[in-house]
């Protein structure tokens, strides 16, 4: 299915195509084709102006969001792996979107504490085992009605396996990811859809006043 879907993909700007090739050749992780397509549609629907990305790598998805977001969109992106800083900076410069992208270097757990919201969209694409720890800051930074998109949440299906079927070194990530998905689905201020796109994504909308609660109050 994925191969077929991706065969219909019409691609992006030549710059993004080249960046994707370069990243792949250097074994730098970037969002998959299906996620690229999903993000483009999502940006056109929600039209977020303030975007926060956790996990820059070499800047591919940040540049994609600058390219396909509304012209007023500003993107803040966080990366902690020093070896990627210079390439990311060069890519932002080459892309021509340097003025729309703020690149912050450091551990997202620390950097997020220094940020002020509200953000319309937060794109979570960093170390999977840490998503659950980032969540309190994510919720603080997201506006009411804002959206959290998280990538790589189903680990190609591994997340539904029994913990004993998962390699020992992956068990902690597995456990934390299940906790993360459970929390996203049960949080009183989040409405979440888990979508088996790529190796799994979630889309969550923050609702200060959840629909259910509104309905109950109206019934009284």
The number of angstroms, rounded, from the C-alpha of 34 to the middle of its chain's C-alpha atoms is 13
Under the binding rule (CB under 6 A), the answer on residue 125 touching ligand SAH is yes
Under the binding rule (CB under 5 A), the answer on residue 95 touching Mg ion is no
Under the binding rule (CB under 6 A), the answer on residue 79 touching ligand SAH is yes
**Bridge partners, residue 206, by sequence:** 190
Please say whether the beta carbons of 110 and 84 come within 8 A: no
Out of 51, 52, 73, 78, name the contact with ligand SAH by CB under 6 A: 78
- Residue 129-158 contact track with ligand SAH, rule CB under 6 A, x = bound: -x----------------------------
Please say whether the beta carbons of 68 and 43 come within 8 A: yes
Q: DSSP of 64-90, one letter per residue?
A: HHHHHS-TT-EEEEEE--HHHHHHHHH
Of 55, 41, 33, 47, the residue nearest 131 (C-alpha):
55
Under the binding rule (CB under 6 A), the answer on residue 61 touching ligand SAH is yes
Under the binding rule (CB under 6 A), the answer on residue 118 touching ligand SAH is no
Place of tokens 């597995």: 174
Compare residues 62 and 207 and give the one whose CB is closer to ligand SAH.
62
Pairing of the two strands 101-105 and 74-79 = parallel
Please say whether the beta carbons of 119 and 52 come within 8 A: yes
Out of 15, 22, 81, 187, name the contact with ligand SAH by CB under 6 A: 81
Task: Give the nearest distance from C-beta 35 to ligand SAH in angstroms.
Answer: 8
CB under 6 A: which stretch of 38-46, 120-128, 160-168, 197-205 binds ligand SAH? 120-128
Partner from ligand SAH, Mg ion, none binding residue 152, C-beta < 5-8 Å depending on class: Mg ion
* Strand ranges of the sheet holding 50-54, from the earlier edge strand across to the other edge: 101-105, 74-79, 50-54, 119-124, 142-151, 201-206, 190-195
Task: Give the nearest distance from C-beta 50 to ligand SAH in angstroms.
Answer: 17
Task: Give the nearest distance from C-beta 129 to Mg ion in angstroms.
Answer: 13
Under the binding rule (CB under 5 A), the answer on residue 199 touching Mg ion is no
The number of angstroms, rounded, from the C-alpha of 86 to the middle of its chain's C-alpha atoms is 22
Contacts with Mg ion by CB under 5 A lie at 125, 151-152
Contacts with ligand SAH by CB under 6 A lie at 29-31, 55, 57, 60-61, 78-81, 84, 107-109, 125-127, 130
């Amino acid at each position: 299915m994925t191969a077929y879907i991706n065969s219909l993909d019409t691609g992006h700007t030549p710059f993004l195509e080249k960046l994707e090739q370069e990243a792949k050749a250097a074994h730098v992780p970037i969002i998959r084709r299906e996620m690229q397509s999903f993000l483009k549609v999502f940006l056109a629907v929600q039209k977020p102006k303030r975007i926060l990305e956790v996990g820059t790598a070499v800047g591919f998805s940040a540049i994609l969001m600058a390219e396909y977001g509304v012209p007023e969109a500003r993107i803040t992106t966080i990366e902690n792996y020093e070896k990627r800083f210079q390439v990311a900076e060069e890519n932002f410069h080459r892309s021509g979107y340097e003025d729309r992208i703020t690149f912050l270097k450091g551990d997202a757990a620390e950097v997020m504490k220094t940020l002020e919201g509200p953000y319309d969209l937060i794109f979570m694409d960093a170390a999977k085992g840490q998503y659950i720890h980032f969540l309190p800051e994510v919720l603080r930074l997201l506006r009411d009605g804002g959206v959290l998109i998280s990538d790589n949440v189903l680990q190609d299906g591994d997340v539904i396996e029994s913990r004993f079927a998962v390699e020992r070194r992956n068990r902690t990530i597995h456990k934390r990811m299940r906790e993360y998905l459970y929390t996203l689905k049960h949080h009183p201020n989040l409405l979440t859809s888990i979508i088996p796109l790529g190796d799994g994504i979630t889309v969550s909308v923050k609702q200060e006043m959840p629909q259910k609660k509104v309905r109950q109050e109206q019934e009284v």
